[in-house]
Amino acid sequence: MTSIEYIIDHSPALIIAIPLLGAFLTPLVSRLGSRIRNVFVIIVAMLTAFLVFLLASDVFSDGIRTYIFGSQDLTTPVVRILFEVDGISIFMAIISVLLSLLAAIYSWSFMKKYDGLDKYYTLLLLMTAGMLGMELTGDMFNFFVFLEITSISSCALIAFWTHKGEAVEAGFKYIVVSAVGALFVLFAVALLYGQYNALNIATLANTIQYSFLDKIAFVLLITALGMKAGLVPMHMWLPDSYSQAPSSVTLILVGATQASLYGVFRMCFTLYGGVFADGILSSMTVGWFIVVLALVTILIGVTMAIIQTDFKRLIAYAAVAELGYMFLGIGVGLTAMGTSYGKTALDGGVFHILNDALDVGLLFLVAGSIYYATKERDLDRMGGLARNMRYTSMFFIIGLLAVAGMPPMNGFASKLLIYESTYQLSPILSIIAILSSILLLAVFVKVFHSVFMGPELPRFRDVQEVPRSMLLAMGIIALIIIVIGLIPGIVVENIVQPAANSLVNHLDYISHVISIGGV
């Protein structure tokens, strides 16, 4: 066995272990000096990213991978924790690891002026580990544990600027919401455990009976994870925390929100997939519920975004609207389970996860750059910055076009998949999706005007372009956006469709555990 194969074999464990190790060592390393610490953190993030890409290439070529912690042999029944990495898991992992790597790079200059940075970087790595754990795990309780890691670390990071009351308030709201949500997830896990004496997702999915208690567990899981993913009307924590966190943190928060969204995907399609597939519960019921909530999410997100005057809050509401598109994808995929357009909608939803992460992430980074340069977030007090910050404004235009789904950016590709499939369920869905997309465009044109356009304001005369590390992070995202926008077909075929297929084929997920001796 060559060493690279050895690494690939153990990469699911290492993907979690390395950021954790990095996080535990960061307080020690930071005693050596701030530059060494930054380099250390970036190296850890890059190593993690490298492992994720290795694993991804393996998963996309060879199918589902299972990693059992503690012992090689899987006994019947499954007693040990196992990681089960399929298409959607690794798809989400790629997004998370990309975002955290970019955040680490972006933080180099962005956070330079503040104190408490060793803890900041520790929490950054912990958050990465938490998201990756949520996405790769195949065990319900482990999912809960990583959910908590993610939410606690992100809460602390949201409240990073403690001298501002708003940041603390946002952090408190976030922690209340996520604590309640996580507790209900735990309650649902306990309900499932009490009935089937199993914690493994595959085992549970194999034996689930859909009794009344299972219904309650389902409701709790979907609602709690939906809240953590920002489903309207449980989205109100989202603009608060997104807007008050430092921008580099907001970038990862996008990933954390999407990890919760992944939870919804996993619960709907894998854990309760058999229930839907066998028709015990009509997927219409749940699907339409999610579809309606998704439409409300899109509409409220975008209409609230239009009237905001705080830059980051506005983007946060736009992010809510974008989340609605993903939920629309899930909902239609669930409602029309088995049809081709349902599959297309699911593809679109999954693809949009990637695009949303990039687009909204880029916009948040731009907002952070503006804040870095001008110490200003109020749209009413800005103007004329396109003169001094040419690169930033270019990146903003790219982000604007992408988030509004204008061709040829990546947002258009995924939205096209959603528009051209959801109309078959009901034309209204498509119509509202299209309309909201235009509204999003309007929202960002407003931002574009009030931040970058207009006469040069005297107080911004000395504004400089932001340092190189920030430009680098934004540039990487912009590049990825354009590349994905130009070759959407390749991306959809090679990454998105395997991910969506792994959601639909819940039997594969189950049988993979059976085939290695479990259940």
Q: Which is nearer to another protein, 243 or 247 (CB)?
A: 243
> Which residues, numbered 401-420, are part of the site for another protein (CB under 8 A)?
405-408, 412-413, 416-417, 419-420
Q: Does 48 bind another protein (CB under 8 A)?
A: no
Binding another protein (rule: CB under 8 A), the pick from 95, 234, 245, 473 is 234
Burial track 50-77 (b if 16+ CB lie within 10 A, e otherwise): bbbbbbbebbeeeebbbbbeeeeebeee
**Contact (CB, 8 A) for 359 and 382:** no
Binding another protein (rule: CB under 8 A), the pick from 33, 338, 427, 517 is 427
Which one-letter DSSP state was computed for residue 310?
Answer: B
Q: Does 32 bind another protein (CB under 8 A)?
A: no
Binding another protein (rule: CB under 8 A), the pick from 340, 468, 494, 517 is 340
Q: Does 338 bind another protein (CB under 8 A)?
A: no
Report in angstroms how near the CB of residue 259 gets to another protein at its nearest: 14
Report in angstroms how near the CB of residue 165 gets to another protein at its nearest: 3
Pick the piece of the chain touching another protein (CB under 8 A) from 89-97, 148-156, 326-334, 469-477: 148-156
Q: Which is nearer to another protein, 441 or 472 (CB)?
A: 441
Binding another protein (rule: CB under 8 A), the pick from 67, 269, 276, 396 is 67
> Which residues, numbered 247-276, are part of the site for another protein (CB under 8 A)?
none
Burial of 498 (C-beta count, 10 Å sphere; 0-12/13-18/19+): buried
Strands 82-85 vs 65-68: parallel, antiparallel or unpaired = antiparallel
Binding another protein (rule: CB under 8 A), the pick from 45, 92, 224, 367 is 224
Report in angstroms how near the CB of residue 508 gets to another protein at its nearest: 23
Q: Does 126 bind another protein (CB under 8 A)?
A: yes
**Contact (CB, 8 A) for 106 and 369:** no
Q: Which is nearer to another protein, 340 or 515 (CB)?
A: 340
> Which residues, numbered 443-472, are part of the site for another protein (CB under 8 A)?
445-458
Pick the piece of the chain touching another protein (CB under 8 A) from 88-96, 97-105, 111-119, 503-511: 111-119
Q: Which is nearer to another protein, 130 or 333 (CB)?
A: 130
User: In angstroms, rounded to a whole number, what is the distance separating the alpha carbons of residues 247 and 88?
Assistant: 27
The pair of three-digit structure tokens given for residue 61, joined into one six-digit string = 């070529």
Q: How many residues bind another protein (CB under 8 A)?
A: 164
Report in angstroms how near the CB of residue 159 gets to another protein at its nearest: 6
Estimate the crossing angle of helix 212-229 against helix 283-306, to 10 degrees.
20
Q: Which is nearer to another protein, 342 or 361 (CB)?
A: 342
Q: Does 54 bind another protein (CB under 8 A)?
A: no
| Type of residue at 475 | G
Q: Which is nearer to another protein, 109 or 150 (CB)?
A: 150
Q: Does 494 bind another protein (CB under 8 A)?
A: no
Largest CA distance in the chain: 73
Binding another protein (rule: CB under 8 A), the pick from 45, 94, 105, 156 is 156
Closest CA to 368 of 92, 42, 102, 34: 102
User: In angstroms, rounded to a whole number, what is the distance separating the alpha carbons of residues 326 and 394?
Assistant: 27
Q: Is the peptide bond before 233 cis (omega within 30 degrees of 0)?
A: yes
Q: Does 36 bind another protein (CB under 8 A)?
A: no
Which one-letter DSSP state was computed for residue 221?
Answer: H
Q: Does 489 bind another protein (CB under 8 A)?
A: yes
Q: Which is nearer to another protein, 30 or 502 (CB)?
A: 30
The pair of three-digit structure tokens given for residue 490, joined into one six-digit string = 């390749």
> Which residues, numbered 84-103, are part of the site for another protein (CB under 8 A)?
none
User: In angstroms, rounded to a whole number, what is the distance separating the alpha carbons of residues 110 and 371?
Assistant: 10
Q: What's the CA dihedral at 326, 330, 336, 338 to 10 degrees?
A: 120
Report in angstroms how near the CB of residue 382 gets to another protein at its nearest: 8
DSSP string, 17-79: HHHHHHHHHHHHHGGG-HHHHHHHHHHHHHHHHHHHHHHHHHHHHH--EEEESS-SSPPSS--
Binding another protein (rule: CB under 8 A), the pick from 8, 98, 102, 227 is 227
Q: Does 50 bind another protein (CB under 8 A)?
A: no
Burial of 340 (C-beta count, 10 Å sphere; 0-12/13-18/19+): exposed
Binding another protein (rule: CB under 8 A), the pick from 46, 54, 168, 507 is 168
Other residues' Cβ atoms within 10 Å of the Cβ of residue 193: 15
